[in-house]
């Protein structure tokens, strides 16, 4: 972004040393192979003065003590899935509002921005694209911003706050602007993290379109799952637009630095663009699902038509077989009657008995043939 210099490489960052930032330490710690988001609760803290890190306390108590000893300093404390006691300790020291602390404990909050006196409470939904399962993974980040402190409470693997800390420490002129600068850098990181997700989802939609017209039977499930992810993505991005405009509306009231104003406007432009893309994705998926339903219906209709035609042909064959069976049954019946050889049968001693029987068979057969022919059975 225009207001923030390029991100430095990890090898050139001071955080790659043993005294690196807590976020960097947490990012490099071993994680279970099953889910990279499963990270133990770790307290992370550093103190800054004039945009330069002056210490990295090992505990919350030490952080509180050093911050009181340096009135012009700023504490940046990061927690990943903190315990209740850790949050209550922070709430007591920094006078955090109980409602905001309760939200941070429970997580699963919608993106929002609330002000409690001199403290801002911000909830953000970060996202990352997982290439292997082709899924979007969402994380949640709560940020407390006060006059001399920033507290981040992370639920999930995203965003990478160690990268945010490195950026800020590499630009002390920006970091010395205080907690607001850290908040805007975090917002920028969350919004920048949406770009790979947008690219991944676009690729998924392209693949889905190919599968739809290729007749893949599993594509309907994939469309539905991606649509659900886009609903979550909308819930993450839409509120951000209003939140950022709310922050911009308070520029003059809270005397926001002009550089931060430009920075925030740039972030707002990016999140607006992302929100519009997500809306377009959801609309496209709805249309693709409609097309897929139409194609499936057409395929089913074609199969039913083929079955109906096969049934019709079978009926025609059955009609022919039944007609010839009836025609052949008539002479068989006459022949069977005259072949019983009873002593008292009037026709047995009749001179014209045999010709009459033959003629009767012929007449019955011809009559049945004519009848079936007129009915198109033959």
Residue 251 is predicted with a pLDDT of 64
Residue 150 is predicted with a pLDDT of 92
Residue 252 is predicted with a pLDDT of 63
Task: Compute how many other C-beta atoms are within 10 angstroms of the C-beta atom of residue 16.
Answer: 15
The count of residues in the chain is 378
Contact call for residues 155 and 139 (beta carbons, < 8 A): yes
Residue 14 is predicted with a pLDDT of 35
- Can you count the helices (H) and strands (E) in the chain? 12, 7
3-state secondary structure the chain: CCCCCCCCCHHHCHHHCCCCCHHHHHHHCCCCCCCCCCCCCEEEEEEEECCEEEECCCCHHHHHHHHHHCCCCEEEEEEECCCHHHHHHHHHHHCCCHHHHHHHHHCCCCCEEEEECCEEEEEEEEEEEECCCCEEEEEEEEEEECCCEEEEEEECCCCCHHHHHHHHHHCHHHHCCCHHHHHHHHHHHHHHCHHHHHHHHHHHHHHHHHHHHHCCCCHHHHHHHHHHHHHHHHHHHHHHHHHHHHHHHCHHHHCCCHHHHHHHHHHHHHHHHHHHHHHHHHHHHHHHHHHHHHHHHHHHHHHHHHHHHHHHHHHHHHHHHHHHHHHHHHHHHHHHHHCCCCCCCHHHHCCCHHHHHHHHHHHHHHHHHHHHHHCCCC
Q: Greater confidence, 176 or 342?
A: 176
Contact call for residues 192 and 159 (beta carbons, < 8 A): no
Residue 25 is predicted with a pLDDT of 39
Average pLDDT over the chain, rounded to whole?
Answer: 79
Express each pLDDT in 76-135 by its tens digit. 988 888 888 888 888 888 888 989 888 888 777 888 888 888 888 999 998 888 888 888
Express each pLDDT in 257-270 by its tens digit. 777 778 888 888 99
- Poorest-pLDDT segment among 143-147, 180-184, 306-310, 339-343: 339-343
In terms of Cα–Cα distance, which of 37, 59, 39 is closest to 47?
59
**pLDDT class for 329, splitting at 50, 70, 90?**
confident
Residue 134 is predicted with a pLDDT of 84
């Amino acid at each position: 972004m225009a207001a923030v210099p390029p991100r430095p490489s990890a090898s050139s960052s001071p955080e790659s040393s043993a005294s690196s930032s807590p976020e960097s330490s947490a990012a490099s710690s071993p994680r279970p192979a099953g889910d990279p988001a499963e990270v133990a609760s770790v307290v992370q803290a550093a103190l800054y003065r004039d945009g330069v890190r002056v210490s990295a306390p090992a505990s919350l108590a030490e952080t509180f003590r050093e911050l009181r000893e340096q009135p012009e300093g700023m504490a940046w404390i990061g927690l990943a899935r903190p315990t209740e006691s850790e949050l209550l300790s922070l709430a007591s020291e920094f006078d955090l509002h109980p409602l905001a602390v309760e939200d941070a404990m429970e997580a699963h909050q919608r993106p929002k921005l609330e002000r409690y006196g001199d403290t801002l409470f911000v909830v953000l939904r970060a996202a990352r694209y997982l290439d292997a399962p082709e899924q979007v993974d969402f994380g949640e980040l709560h940020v407390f911003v006060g006059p001399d402190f920033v507290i981040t409470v992370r639920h999930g693997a995203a965003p990478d706050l160690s990268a945010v800390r490195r950026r800020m420490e590499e630009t002390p002129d920006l970091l010395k602007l205080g907690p607001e600068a850290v908040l805007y850098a975090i917002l920028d990181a969350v919004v920048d993290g949406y770009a790979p997700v947008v690219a991944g989802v676009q690729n998924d939609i392209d693949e889905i379109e190919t599968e739809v017209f290729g007749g893949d039977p599993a594509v309907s499930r994939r469309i539905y799952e991606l649509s659900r992810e886009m609903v979550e993505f909308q819930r993450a991005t839409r509120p951000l637009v209003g939140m950022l405009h709310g922050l911009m509306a308070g520029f003059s009231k809270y005397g926001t630095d002009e550089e931060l104003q430009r920075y925030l406007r740039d972030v707002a432009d990016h999140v607006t663009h992302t929100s519009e893309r997500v809306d377009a994705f959801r609309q496209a998926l709805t249309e693709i699902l409609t097309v897929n339903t139409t194609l499936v219906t057409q395929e089913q209709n074609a199969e039913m038509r083929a079955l109906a035609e096969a049934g019709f042909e079978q009926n025609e064959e059955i009609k022919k077989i039944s007609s010839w069976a009836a025609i052949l049954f008539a002479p068989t019946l006459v022949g069977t009657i005259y072949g019983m050889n009873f002593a008292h049968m009037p026709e047995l001693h009749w001179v014209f008995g045999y010709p009459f029987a033959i003629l009767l068979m012929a007449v019955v057969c011809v009559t049945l043939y004519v009848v079936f022919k007129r009915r198109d059975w033959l």
